[in-house]
Structure 1
Amino acid sequence: MKYAAYVAFALLGVIWGTSFIFTKWAAVWITTGQIVLLRVLFGFVPVLVAALASRSLRWWHLRHAHHFLVMALLATIVYYFAFAQGTALLLSSVAGMLSGAIPLFSFLAALIFLREEPLNSRCVAGMLMGFVGVLLAARPWTSGASQVSLPGVLYMLGGAFSVGCSFVYARKFLSPLSIPPVALCCYQIGTALVILLLVTDMHGAMRILNDGRASLGLALGLGLTGTGIAYILYYFIVQRMGAMAAAGVTYIPPVVALFIGCVLASEPLRLLDVIAIAAILLGVFILQSARSGRQAQTPAIARPIRCGKQA
């Protein structure tokens, strides 16, 4: 068990990195809303099992249902829908690269809404470097076959900002409640599932069964593994390695997505893509190192374990 956390760390990064190609395959057959609903449905099962097995669910938790609703919207429905729509419009490798900006938007949301994040030169440098990488990945100056879909980029950035806001909301309103993370995740995904069942038009959803690769990728890759098991792995990593170390898993999915897009989907690999992903990850590294250094100089406090981190 000594190296179990490191194995889980690598496995989680690969799981999140493969989600973009699975989304791309599913988008050929069904709508974005149907992808999100089925992903949440299959992902809810292992989370519910884990919550029941750990006996984390309590009736008194329901008094905070309004917070679960907000988290369901920010960290599941809007987040998953925006990323699915963006991935459908972009190369899976480009969508994966842009997902690497989630930590940047998390810091930006904390800066705007919490006003507790001191802004120093290293934080500014990390933010600027990361967003330069986003700009290089989006390539707004190009045209023709090499042009990147601007709506697709905006969807990805909107999804990243939504989940970034969810981290801030969880920190401000959910952390003081001392509800177990697996229970919070169960309530969040369960609430999202109910809403999606009410609003999603499932007409034509059975078409995905025409493609075994797409249907298995959605049910197992995006749902069971990419949503449910991924959350459980994340909790395990946090318990074994700590929240700051667990945050480092965000470096893996963009690289995995770029590799899979090029190898499995025969997507072009340009030098600019390599520079873009390097800039994004370097920006995240500078930003996280600045924050971890500052936290090391302050008394230790309990930090929240967030439900949901990647696509």
Structure 2
Amino acid sequence: MLRSMYSGIAGMRGFQTQLDIVGNNIANVNTVGFKKGRVTFQDMMSQTVAGASAPTGIRGGVNAQQVGLGSQIGSIDNIHTQGNRQTTNRALDLALEGDGMFVFATGIALDANAVDIADVNLQYSRAGNLYLDDFGYIVNPNGQYLLGVNGLTAEVEGQEPDNITVGAEQATRIRIPESASSFSIQGDGTVIYIDANNQTQEAGQIMLANFSNPGGLEKVGSNMYRSSVNDGMVGTNGIPQLIAPETQGVAQIVSGALEMSNVDLAEEFTDMIVGQRGFQANTRIITTSDEILQELVNLKR
């Protein structure tokens, strides 16, 4: 059989994957905190028809003769560039300007006290659309608790404030009491509220996790990421070091705004056209190869 037919099949498979990535990007063009994907290609192994030969005293060198056998997926990347900021003027809408991610946790009981972080499910996100639950804790749309440190959380139903051991630090959920008349979140993550006596109180400080290779994080859906062995987490033994905003090179928190998707529609439509034409061109290779085979079969006639 003709090599070109199999090369065409490999090309069609690769461009189909590219169109899948482009379609997902376009579908999430308005998703808060979404980071676009990108696919790259690389050539497959080549069949050596004739090897190279070195020059001699009477003849020059000859290059190798190789026939390529198509293309394959080289990588599928998550591009963690800064997304555009959309102003909402809602106090619990937070955008990150710079590196870092919010840290969210599940698996914390309301009566927990000094829970080891190894027993807690941690996930990370750039999506800062946050809410208050029935007890006043700051959570994301999935009900996962936003983590901070040094929280002055009031007792819930007579129980002591809960902490999570993170190395030498104490991470905590952040709770705004029901008696608070108003609250605000500063650029360094500090959550401030006005109590019933019209006094300013601190509910805690939102902390961030940072990764030297955020492209190594794994998407788990719902705008969330989980750690992998190749994300370059700043921390030890898979436990993140919680970093205060505006320190150690991590992001500033902007309250009243959201970081939107970093998808560029013009770029995606261009990639879609290129992918479509590449797919069509590879189908033409298969069609042409089939016509050549048909001519060979008809030689007997």
**TM-score, normalised on structure 2?**
0.21
Structure with higher strand content: 2
Look at both structures and tell me which one has the larger radius of gyration over its CA atoms: 2
- The structure that is helix-richer by fraction is 1
